[in-house]
Structure 1
Amino acid sequence: MQFGWSAPFIPILQGPDSPVKITDEDIDWLESIYMIGGLAGLPLTIYMVDRIGRQKTVLFASSSSFTAWILIGVANHVNYLYIARFLTGLAADVAFVAGPMYVAEIADQKIRGFLAGVIFLMMLAGFLILYGVAPYVPFYACSIIGGIIVGIQLVGVPFMPDSPYYLLTKGKHEKAKKHLQWLRGREDVDKELEAIAIAVERQKSERGRPQDLFISKSNRKAVIVMTVLNTAQHFSGMAVILMNLHSILIAAGSVTISSNVAGILFSAIMLLAATVSVFGIDHIGRRILLAVSSFLTGFALLAVAIFFTLQKRGLVGPESAWIPIVAILVYAAVFKCGLGIIPIVMTAELFPTKVKAMGMALADLIFLLTGLASIQLYQNLVRIYGLDVPFYIFAAFTLITAVFSIVYVPETKGKTLEEIQYILKGEQPPAAKKEGTYVTDDVVESPQ
């Protein structure tokens, strides 16, 4: 809800009945400060996920988000909104690292992709709530809804089991066993727990320095994959469209469908597409979904760019405004089928445990920096050249990503975390799972 907050609320804040008076400069900052808050949260993320655990880190993020909703609800000056946007950027940064890490460590590999994808389904449900409610209710109403949702999380998370991996790193063997039994729904978890314990002990002796992200061949490839995919998410227009959807559709000049209705359709289609993707991710595979999604997303963005070029030259009128609306709705469907969901799933899969916090923090840093860069690029190019130029850039980058996905991205479907490390090294993985034996984590050096 906070990620897409500016899309419906900026037009409201610009209106004559705005509860908070804002300027054009405020609009730019209200979008950018969300990403700046995320950047400020990176040191906290690196420290907290390994120091206090994944579960408690999520709880901290929920508290920050709850505070932000209160500030938005009572805001009578733009400074309240600035502080709230900063806090929610920080909260999202922490949650989108700790959440996927937690899920990857508690899940069986057969459903790991599905469970990690559920995080994004909740995000898309937030967009749908926001776009469907915000234009039709008082300014403070969405804060009440957001506060209730986060309040439920604050009450529920303390009762969740913690990651057995994290508990074993802290020497809490009995607690790790108890939590693993709860997660697996059975008493007999000794073999799996022993495999996790061996992996944890091995990793304690291995180096976990920042430079190890680049020294190791497997880590280096993981960094390259995540750099390109996280950059591609934003340079396919994700943050720009989610934060400026209503303004873009108003600029298209549609008289057949309002920007508010189109926003509801956009978020509903994204949620439906992501749901289909989540159920198919462990069957179809990450790489093929990523490549197909990137190709189709690029063509949808290209259609939007061409329309605004023709509009700028006076070659199309309001009767053709359905073209960018349809293209953006197609974008919602094809983007969330792969490019909009696969990177967050793969981030938690590619890095070995000893450098996972640093690797995911680096991926998140790239995600935030490129998000901020895409927003600034869009805002400046629109003022100078019009809406078409940034969409041409987004289309080109997305099509390049499709080729990269086919050529370079490894397939992690159905692979254990250990097998994935062998694949990243370019080596043949050993049997992932033998009768009565669990191989549940990664290695830094191969047996050779």
Structure 2
Amino acid sequence: MDIQDEYRSLLEQENRELPESQDTYFSKVKNSKLYLATFVSVLGPLSFGFVLGYSSPAIPDLTTIDDPHLRLNDDQASWFGSIVTLGAMVGGLLAGWMVERIGRKLSLMFSSLPFVFGFTIIIAARSVWMLYLGRALTGFASGIASLVVPLYISEMAHERVRGTLGSCVQLMVVLGIMGVYLAGLFLDWRWLAICSSIPPTLLLVCMCFMPETPRFLLSRGKQREAEEVLRYLRGPDAPVEYECDRIKEAFDEECSSFQMSDLKEAHVYKPLAIGILLMIFQQMSGINTIMFYAENIFEQAHFKESDLASLIVGVIQVVFTAVAALIMDKAGRKILLIISGVAMAISTTAMGVYFYLVSTPEGGVHTDMSWLALASVAVFIAGFALGWGPVPWLIMSEIFPVKVRGVGSSLCVLTNWSLAFIVTKTFQDMMKSLTRAGTFWLFACMCILNVIFTMVFVPETKGKTLEQIEQTFRESSDQ
């Protein structure tokens, strides 16, 4: 075809797309099948959200249940909630190996099995250890899904919708959390586990009909299959040979597999450092502790129904994560991180002020200042959902070179889940040693560092192909 020859000629002459060729190409692209594949894949994060939210409505049931073999004390309830993060660490490590060996599609299908098995063990539990095992398995599956799904979407999507589709990962997580909170108003812990097993079951069935990513197929030398997948994802009229050649050229430049010696190369260690630090800053912003303390704050502000408090938190998360998804490819990743970090710094500072005033001996401050606590929680959750919730996962899936994509993503997921466990487990100790006000002021300092780090080190990836992002790091390394 003439238009394909034109594109190939442009590619050979410029080694990158000209704006005119991009507009011509995308005018022929149809995204319906891409949206379908994305929708199926984000059943993984939806399952992940159900796992994260399950402990909140289930623990009150399990701490008051008549069966002494299943009744949880305070320490057991704490482990029931947090053992998920330990399972996710192992899952994240394994997922980095899996995506390179068996591919993105099969890895995602595999993740659905421990989801289903874990909830099945919880449903059939006859002892506390069965509850622990079920939670650990669902955490293991969550660790795999949290790595594979962003990678799967980023390698399928083109640069004009990659931000929006990548943000759907976090959107489905918070939808899952809100969904399990809502279901928990009507269902006991066993029926809630049955309900939570539905999304991963659908994931396993539906992924059978979805394609492998074209980039993984090209990395295995399967160009014909990659072109067929691109034609499925971009529509029958799109000249996909143009995009396939562009991706293949990047693989030809970097055909070797990852070696430890590659960490000496700046275009490898720079994105790896950025990805890991993004995950550290995300967890050190205090999101898990804010979520942990939110119900207490709502109760202190005369919201006696803790279920209602959880639902309000869930709604705020969903709304602002959806806003982030809608504007991600227009506003850009970097500006959303900055706005998000500023909002979180202000809200955690205000939270510290609230706790400082509450701790003073003067009477009446607790009631008078309850509005400050409520506003701070709302602003923090909205700010996190707008940027630091979805963007680190999106950038993680975009910035790594081909040969370190699995290893780099695995290290990022391991870092995220490790910090989540550490911060959650040490939160009460921090509150005692630093006081409640000091703890939230520490989080405010971390949020300020988030903003500085973003402004100085985080690259803008909006509107760039994965190959262009990789080339940007190579060029900066050569300077």
TM over 0.5: yes
**CA distance 1:241–1:5, change in 2 (3 Å):** farther
Q: Which residue of 2 aligns with 1:435?
A: none
**CA distance 1:169–1:424, change in 2 (3 Å):** closer
Matched, 1:410 2:459: yes
TM-superposed deviation, 1:318: 4.1
TM-score by length of 1: 0.88
Q: Which residue of 2 aligns with 1:275?
A: 322
Distance (whole Å) between structure 1 residues aligned to residue 409 and residue 190 of structure 2 = 34
Q: Secondary structure at the match of 1:137?
A: coil
Q: Write the letter of the residue equivalent to 2:307.
A: N
Q: Which residue of 2 aligns with 1:440?
A: none
**What is the aligned counterpart of 1:105 among 155, 158, 165?**
155
Matched, 1:191 2:238: no
> Which moved further from structure 2: 191-200 or 395-404?
191-200
Contact 1:231 1:370 in 2 (8 A): yes
Q: Which residue of 2 aligns with 1:373?
A: 422
Q: Secondary structure at the match of 1:270?
A: helix
TM-score by length of 2: 0.83
> Which moved further from structure 2: 130-139 or 87-96?
130-139
Q: Which residue of 1 aligns with 2:79?
A: 29
TM-superposed deviation, 1:388: 3.5
**What is the aligned counterpart of 1:307 among 354, 357, 363?**
354
Q: Which runs of 5+ in 1 are unaligned?
A: 428-444
Distance (whole Å) between structure 2 residues aligned to residue 344 and residue 293 of structure 1 = 15
Q: Secondary structure at the match of 1:22?
A: coil
**CA distance 1:402–1:412, change in 2 (3 Å):** same
Q: Which residue of 2 aligns with 1:289?
A: 336
Matched, 1:13 2:66: no
Deviations 1:382-436 (A, max 9, x none): 3556543432222221121112111221111111223223433464xxxxxxxxx
**What is the aligned counterpart of 1:394 among 439, 443, 464?**
443
Contact 1:410 1:423 in 2 (8 A): no
Greater share of helix: 2
Q: Which residue of 2 aligns with 1:442?
A: none
Contact 2:167 2:325 in 1 (8 A): yes
Q: Secondary structure at the match of 2:416?
A: helix
**CA distance 1:9–1:393, change in 2 (3 Å):** farther
Q: Which residue of 2 aligns with 1:264?
A: 311
TM-superposed deviation, 1:235: 1.1
**What is the aligned counterpart of 1:4 among 53, 57, 60?**
53
> Which moved further from structure 2: 376-385 or 35-44?
376-385
TM-superposed deviation, 1:231: 0.9
Contact 1:12 1:18 in 2 (8 A): no
Contact 2:93 2:411 in 1 (8 A): no
Superposition CA RMSD, Å: 2.3
Fraction of identical pairs, as percent: 28
**CA distance 1:136–1:301, change in 2 (3 Å):** farther
> Which moved further from structure 2: 84-93 or 281-290?
84-93
Contact 1:6 1:243 in 2 (8 A): no
**CA distance 1:207–1:112, change in 2 (3 Å):** same
Distance (whole Å) between structure 1 residues aligned to residue 470 and residue 147 of structure 2 = 20
Q: Write the letter of the residue equivalent to 1:302.
A: T
Number of residue pairs matched by the alignment: 426
Q: Which residue of 1 aligns with 2:106?
A: 56
Q: Which residue of 2 aligns with 1:438?
A: none
Q: Which residue of 2 aligns with 1:203?
A: 254
> Which moved further from structure 2: 296-305 or 388-397?
388-397
Q: Secondary structure at the match of 1:110?
A: coil
TM-superposed deviation, 1:66: 1.2
Distance (whole Å) between structure 1 residues aligned to residue 452 and residue 153 of structure 2 = 29
Deviations 1:131-184 (A, max 9, x none): 222144222222122111221111101110111111122233332222111011
Q: Which residue of 2 aligns with 1:347?
A: 396
Q: Write the letter of the residue equivalent to 1:373.
A: I
Q: Which runs of 5+ in 2 are unaligned?
A: 1-49
Distance (whole Å) between structure 2 residues aligned to residue 318 and residue 9 of structure 1 = 31
Q: Write the letter of the residue equivalent to 2:370.
A: A
Q: Write the letter of the residue equivalent to 1:355.
A: V
Contact 2:119 2:135 in 1 (8 A): no
Contact 2:175 2:318 in 1 (8 A): yes
TM-superposed deviation, 1:256: 4.1
**CA distance 1:18–1:128, change in 2 (3 Å):** farther
